[in-house]
Structure 1
């Protein structure tokens, strides 16, 4: 473990504090670090691998965690095994040196470093907003009980195709056809109190043919998508006209109630 090269610092020296040290960078930041350290007794450039300890950096320059975004858009933050420096880190804390040398003037940030820092900042802000938006949407659409479903139905955006009927132990979505001169329920979707979902064309239960009922309703978006699929379902009489099926009850997507 190297020793700190800052004047009057005892980092990692005998009797001094044990600290994390960082090599002086070899890119465009190197001149900033050397100028900030102000080592007058020796030319730092002649040292093999000069290091600066963590005591000379402000907390915002020290990274102890890292984060990543998973496939669901959730940002997960985890602790790092070793403290690392941010890309714009410059030593500015020198408690054992004259005050005029300690953080006396901000080191000008290189345009490229500033651009990258701002881009990273904007990206993190965009990710955070996306995560918060996703969490809000999930929370607003989640439904965990029949009682909650009943409370959500009044504000639920149902198309004019459906008539909503609330019963004690079920919610019905009905489509009434009166083309024949006598109104009858042509299509219906039932959500029972145990949150099971069924769909019917007249008295025939729909299963398949682009209509797939969820096993258990726990999301209002699922209900919306299912209602849309039943609304646009190609009724058996239309299938017969297109000669895609020989008989109403032989269609593979129908089962008797």
Structure 2
């Protein structure tokens, strides 16, 4: 049997659309329930042939490459996957023909803690340097003396 796309308004893999990967509904009951809820179709029960295309998932939910370690040499090889895979708890989040508050193409990019820490340290260092410069210039002004000669 042919895969059945279940997201309304989706044109992925049609003759006019681009060819993209599709994902079957998960077997895990809780995750399957989340997928069904997020697709927002009334009275919808996914079958074994129901699929959702990759366009409805966040880029951060897709696994596009695989990494392998050669234990003899210690080298790590990273190769692109022929077909993308989904991360374990990925849920479709981009839905066409839905209000913007239900579906948004804006992905929140959260920076890793180490990068945020570096940014905060650089900001604190910059503030400390500017305060130090102000303090030194104020101190020099106070330490300077004026020679007043009265004749």
TM-score, normalised via structure 1 length: 0.36
Partner residue in 2 for 1:85: 86
Over the aligned positions, Cα root-mean-square deviation in angstroms equals 2.0
Structure 1 position 14, deviation (Å): 4.6
Partner residue in 1 for 2:32: 30
Contact in 1 for aligned 2:34/2:91 (Cα 8 Å): yes
Structure 1 position 60, deviation (Å): 1.1
- CA 1:17/1:39 → structure 2, altered by over 3 Å: closer, same or farther? farther
In the alignment of these two chains, the number of paired residues is 101
Contact in 2 for aligned 1:7/1:97 (Cα 8 Å): no
Contact in 2 for aligned 1:64/1:82 (Cα 8 Å): yes
Distance in 2, matches of 1:73 and 1:30, equals 39
Which aligned segments of 4 or more residues in structure 1 are displaced greater than 4 angstroms? none
Structure 1 position 18, deviation (Å): 2.6
Partner residue in 2 for 1:44: 45
Q: Deviations over 1:136-195 (max 9, x none)?
A: xxxxxxxxxxxxxxxxxxxxxxxxxxxxxxxxxxxxxxxxxxxxxxxxxxxxxxxxxxxx
Partner residue in 1 for 2:64: 64
Higher-RCO chain (CA-CA 8 Å, sequence separation at least 6): 2
- Segments of structure 1 that go 5 or more residues without pairing to the other structure are 104-257
Q: Deviations over 1:179-220 (max 9, x none)?
A: xxxxxxxxxxxxxxxxxxxxxxxxxxxxxxxxxxxxxxxxxx
Q: Which has the larger radius of gyration?
A: 1
Structure 1 position 57, deviation (Å): 0.7
Structure 1 position 32, deviation (Å): 1.2
Distance in 2, matches of 1:58 and 1:31, equals 18
Partner residue in 2 for 1:17: 18
Q: Aligned ranges for residues 214-229 of structure 1 at < 5 Å?
A: none
Q: Secondary structure at the match of 2:5?
A: coil
Q: Aligned ranges for residues 146-161 of structure 1 at < 5 Å?
A: none
Contact in 1 for aligned 2:68/2:76 (Cα 8 Å): yes
